[in-house]
Amino acid sequence: MRTWSEMRWTHRRAWLLLRGPLAWWFVPGAAMTLGLAALGWWGIAIAADRVTDWMLSMWMPEIRSDLLQSVVEWLIWLLLLVVKIKLTKYVVLVVMGPLLAAVSEAVEKQITGVTLPFSWGRWFRDAIRGLRSAMLLASFEWSLTLVLWAIGLTAPVLSPLTLTMAWMIGAWAYGASVMDYVWEREGKDAWSGLKSSLRHSGTALRVGIPFALWMSVPVLAWTIGPLMGGMGATATACVALKGASSNHGATT
């Protein structure tokens, strides 16, 4: 998947499936999203506000310049906004994970006609492997993000650039997380799945950007963002990786 025009076709085909034979998945998806809303963006926001107050109380007594104080406040606010968005992401991916994995498998069935038989042994192995994969992906993303934050704090003039890059890395991680359901069914372990996502970084980014946009808006992030962004990205990732040369399921 090398061009944005090809990815637009892939997004369109994914949504044809979600609006057609897989539309019923929106019922459990909506129910789960309501549960996420109960957890609330606001809960994370309250925690972030308290951290802001604590950091300002620790730092501001040392600062005499109004300009410098404003810069520090701005940097803290941006830093905590990124933390809040990233916390939201992992809460969503953990809670919605079983549903999104099932949606991914249903999309692949539409494309290939292959059904994987259920077994408790496979379910348990997939759950353990999924946990390892999530931890590995989170470590990878946060390591890069912390490096960018350090650069931004050292050279505040670069903050807009580093924050943009951090957002793009987060979008890539969204795409990689839903692509991982495909790698899981191919029998790849967590490390192999991450390597595969890195080899398909362009696809991961193009899949993840719409998901990240849904999850970057405070109200949408805890209402319809997990539903529309999560299911859309999951279906798109599967179509991109499994349906490039197949027309089966696109119009059924």
Residue 60 placed within a domain: yes
Q: Residue 125 belongs to what H/E stretch?
A: helix 120-154
Residue 123 placed within a domain: yes
Domain that holds residue 185: 4-242
Q: Among 181, 75, 89, which Cα is nearest to 142's?
A: 89
Q: What is the pLDDT, as a whole number, of residue 106?
A: 93
Residue 118 placed within a domain: yes
Q: Are the C-beta atoms of residues 114 and 33 closer than 8 Å to each other?
A: no
Average pLDDT of the chain to the nearest whole number: 80
Residue 250 placed within a domain: no
Residue 86 has pLDDT above 80, yes or no: no
Residue 156 placed within a domain: yes
Residue 248 placed within a domain: no
Number of independent structural domains in the chain: 1
* pTM of the shown model: 0.77
Residue 57 placed within a domain: yes
**Distance of alpha carbon 18 from alpha carbon 236, whole angstroms:** 10
CB atoms inside a 10 Å sphere around CB 75: 16
Q: What is the pLDDT, as a whole number, of residue 195?
A: 94
Percent of the chain with pLDDT over 70: 73
- 21: which residues sit within 8 A by CB, 6+ positions away? 110, 249, 252
**Distance of alpha carbon 193 from alpha carbon 187, whole angstroms:** 9
Span 87-107, average pLDDT: 84
Q: How far is Cα of residue 182 from the mean position of the Cα atoms in its chain? A: 15
Residue 129 placed within a domain: yes
Span 183-204, average pLDDT: 92
Pick 131 or 108 by higher pLDDT: 108
